[in-house]
């Protein structure tokens, strides 16, 4: 099924409400990283150039619904967006009953999570949002896995509901990587959210040829293989699942487990690193990175890949002593001819730290949404756009 795209619609003179992901870090009333605002610019500029009356909607942080709080206000975003667009961007604080905006102008609506009923996808709230516009544009991939009033309910009720350019590009790129992937197809799943990534591993093992594990996930596989992991982050409840996955022979992915690791006595930037084989890890050790031999072995697998999906750093890359594994793998992805897709907040931070952003084929703006897409789950906010297109 396909969706209507904003690029295919005549927006001239129309009231167009765009759901953006402008959830950026703010400190002291200033935006500290404007990457998401910059990512949204082409869509906003295209709508303005088409002479639409543009209303922007986004969440910011996790305020208590129905209790507007200054620290979650989108005012700093309106200011930064205004600088980037080179025009005034007014912030509409009371917008749900009507927004004053002329064609060729843009208004940012205050934090949608200030409204009671947003998260529960309250129907009355969604209908009010839908009544504000003639065309609803969903352009926030990072929130597409949540069925809320501003991502799902409004799309049910708006006269026309379509995908914005950012969302459309994201779905195309991810679809291309997953529909008919060039092989070998390799996934890297690392990081610290071990239990939430469990279902992903099980699904991925059916899709990919090699599943590289790192971080707390690798530690769980090391423990499942019968080794001591000392004080390392791992998931006890997942040991059975990990050994099932590792043992599985039914045409599922190969899961190469690290054979050397970098350990430290504590979780800190200053902790002295030591390289050990997995058999040498002691009770007081914390595994904080994959070792150099393992990194070289994984890098060789990545260089030879046809498609790579990456979510989760393989070590505590924020501390330089434990960043080599993630650095070596990110460089291997950059050097590989594979079509590569990466997503996840900390994964993107690692990509920037190691300067490989422009050598990764596609950077997903979503973390949770990216993983759910990879798992083959239908994203609710996309599903409703498909229904509205048919
Ligand atoms: P993402 O945000 O990319 O989805 P996660 O949030 O799951 O990734 O995990 C990222 C975090 O995992 C990083 O902050 C990193 O320091 C941590 N991490 C990686 N390896 C380990 C490890 N061996 N032990 C503890 N934490 C780890
Ligand atoms: Mg994270």
pTM of the model: 0.82
Strand partners, 275: 262
CB 339 within 8 A of CB 309: no
Q: For ligand 1, what atom is nearest to the CA of residue 287?
A: 23
Ligand nearest to the CA of 285: 1
In this prediction, residue 12 carries a pLDDT of 98
**Which residues, chain by chain, have CB under 5 Å from ion ligand 2?**
345-346
Ligand nearest to the CA of 233: 1
In this prediction, residue 261 carries a pLDDT of 98
Q: Separation of 81 CA from ligand 1 center, angstroms?
A: 31
Q: Separation of 318 CA from ligand 1 center, angstroms?
A: 9
Q: List the chain pLDDT tens, one digit each, 390 residues.
A: 699 999 999 999 999 999 999 998 899 999 988 888 999 999 999 999 999 999 999 999 999 999 999 999 999 999 999 999 999 999 999 999 999 999 999 999 999 999 999 999 999 999 999 999 999 999 999 899 999 999 999 999 999 999 999 999 999 888 877 888 999 999 999 999 888 887 788 888 998 999 999 999 999 999 999 999 999 999 999 999 999 998 877 788 999 999 999 999 999 999 999 999 999 999 999 999 999 999 999 999 999 999 999 999 999 999 999 999 999 999 999 999 999 999 887 898 899 999 999 999 998 878 778 888 888 888 999 999 999 998
Q: With residue 231 as reference, give the H or E element that holds it.
A: none
Q: For ligand 1, what atom is nearest to the CA of residue 350?
A: 3
Binding site membership of 254 for ligand 1 (Cβ less than 6 Å):
no
**Residue 152 to residue 126: CA distance in whole angstroms:** 8
Nearest 10 degrees: CA dihedral of 152, 157, 162, 165? -50
In this prediction, residue 374 carries a pLDDT of 85
User: How far, in Å, are 22, 79, 89, 338 from residue 31 at the CA level?
Assistant: 10, 9, 15, 35
In this prediction, residue 247 carries a pLDDT of 86
CB 48 within 8 A of CB 54: yes
Give the β-pairing of 260-264 and 286-290.
Answer: antiparallel
Q: Separation of 347 CA from ligand 2 center, angstroms?
A: 7
Residue 165 burial (C-beta neighbours within 10 Å; 0-12, 13-18, 19+): middle
> CA quadruple 241, 242, 245, 248: dihedral positive or negative?
negative
Give the count of beta carbons closer than 10 Å to the beta carbon of residue 342.
Answer: 24
Per annotation, catalytic residue among 146, 367, 368, 388: 368
SS3 label, residue 122: coil
SS3 label, residue 53: strand
Q: What angle do CA 116, 140, 149 make, to 5 degrees?
A: 25
Per annotation, catalytic residue among 146, 193, 197, 388: 193
Q: Separation of 241 CA from ligand 1 center, angstroms?
A: 20
Binding site membership of 193 for ligand 1 (Cβ less than 6 Å):
yes
Per annotation, catalytic residue among 15, 19, 36, 327: 36
């Amino acid at each position: 099924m396909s969706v209507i795209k904003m690029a295919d619609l005549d927006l001239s003179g129309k009231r167009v409400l765009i759901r953006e992901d402008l959830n950026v870090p703010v400190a002291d009333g200033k935006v500290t990283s404007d990457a998401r605002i910059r990512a949204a610019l082409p869509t906003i500029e295209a709508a303005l150039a088409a002479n639409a009356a543009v209303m922007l909607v986004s969440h910011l942080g996790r305020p208590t619904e129905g209790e507007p709080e200054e620290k979650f206000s989108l005012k700093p975003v309106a200011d930064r967006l205004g600088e980037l667009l080179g025009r005034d961007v007014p912030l509409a604080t009371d917008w749900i009953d009507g927004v004053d905006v002329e064609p060729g102008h843009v208004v940012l609506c205050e934090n949608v999570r200030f409204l009671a009923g947003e998260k529960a996808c309250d129907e009355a709230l969604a209908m009010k949002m839908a009544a504000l516009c003639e065309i609803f544009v969903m352009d926030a991939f990072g929130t597409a896995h949540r069925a809320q009033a501003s991502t799902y309910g409004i799309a049910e009720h708006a006269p026309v509901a379509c995908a914005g350019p950012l969302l459309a590009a994201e779905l195309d790129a991810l679809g291309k990587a997953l529909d008919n992937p060039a092989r070998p197809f390799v996934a890297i799943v690392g990081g610290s959210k071990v239990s939430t990534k469990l279902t992903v591993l099980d699904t991925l093992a059916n899709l990919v040829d090699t599943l590289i594990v790192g971080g707390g996930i690798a530690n769980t596989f090391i423990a499942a293989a019968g080794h001591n992991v000392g004080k390392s982050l791992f998931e006890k409840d997942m040991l059975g699942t990990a050994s099932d996955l590792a043992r599985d022979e039914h045409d599922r992915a190969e899961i190469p487990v690290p054979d050397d690791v970098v350990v430290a006595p504590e979780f800190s930037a200053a902790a002295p690193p030591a390289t050990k084989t997995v058999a040498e890890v002691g009770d007081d050790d914390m595994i904080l990175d994959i070792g150099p031999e393992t990194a070289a072995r994984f890098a060789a697998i990545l260089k030879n890949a046809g498609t790579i999906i990456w979510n989760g750093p393989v070590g505590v890359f924020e501390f330089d002593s434990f960043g080599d594994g993630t650095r070596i793998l990110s460089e291997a992805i950059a050097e590989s001819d594979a079509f590569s897709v990466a997503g996840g907040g900390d994964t993107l931070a690692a990509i920037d730290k190691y300067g490989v952003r422009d050598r990764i084929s596609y950077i997903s703006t979503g973390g949770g949404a990216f993983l759910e897409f990879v798992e083959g789950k239908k994203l609710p906010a996309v599903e409703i756009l498909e229904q509205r297109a048919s």
